[in-house]
Amino acid sequence: MSRIAIIGGHGKVALHLSRILSGEGHDVTSFIRNPEHVADVTETGAQAVVLDVENSTTAELAKALKDHDAVVWSAGAGGGNPARTYAVDRDAAIRSMDAAAEAGTRRYVMVSYLGAGKDHGVPEDNAFFPYAEAKATADEYLRGTALDWTILGPGSLTDEAPTGLIEVDPADPEAGRQTSRGNVALVAAAVLELPGTVHKTIGFRDGAIDVVDALTAE
């Protein structure tokens, strides 16, 4: 059994993930901003802890992450406000990485998106631009840390039922990007158990190959 922290615990991916990890016998701590969401998180089997990561210092985050074996970043500002997008998806994410290192929580899984990176190609006048920039910077910072990181790049998220079947690093990522949030959670849970995924960026979408087989294929 591991002790796993999920940041952004009330998100749809995070709720799927906490249910999966709790069902596997792990001790899950889900950090959430809104106290009204405690019941939803507790129902998944996780312990809900109210923590505003946007306004928390690195030291406060490190204290919260202490004694955890792994952390999964699944938080996001939700778009619509560029300032908050940079504050959460870039700045708070980076503080959480520094905090994980300070707390000795070496395993860090980042939920990003398929196509993230400095060459994302999103025009500045596109509403998605702040998010693309924020994720590019946060992902690159994570790659430069000494953490045992994995970056997950799912395609366009849907609420379809999880199939447990994916395609990793699709040759043509623009041709059918749909990815079930439940499948994202299954991938996140799987990489926590797969040391071979450390220091890898894994792009994926819904497909036809079992999650573990897809993640361990040579």
Rg of the chain (C-alpha set) = 16
Burial letters 97-126, b for 16+ CB under 10 A, else e: bbbbbebebbbbbbbbbbbbbeeeeeeeee
**What pLDDT sits at residue 187?**
98
Q: Which one-letter amino acid corresponds to residue 37?
A: H
Each residue's pLDDT tens digit, 2-32: 999 999 999 999 999 999 999 999 999 999 9
Q: Residue 167: give the domain boundaries.
A: 3-216
Residue 42's CATH number = 3.40.50.720
Each residue's pLDDT tens digit, 88-99: 999 999 999 999
At residue 107 the predicted structure's pLDDT band, cuts being 50, 70 and 90, is very high
**What pLDDT sits at residue 67?**
97
In the chain, the number of structural domains is: 1
**What pLDDT sits at residue 175?**
64
Each residue's pLDDT tens digit, 160-203: 999 999 999 887 766 678 999 999 999 999 999 999 999 999 99
Q: Which two tokens stand for residue 48?
A: 């809900």
How far is 96 from 141, CA to CA, in rounded Å?
A: 11
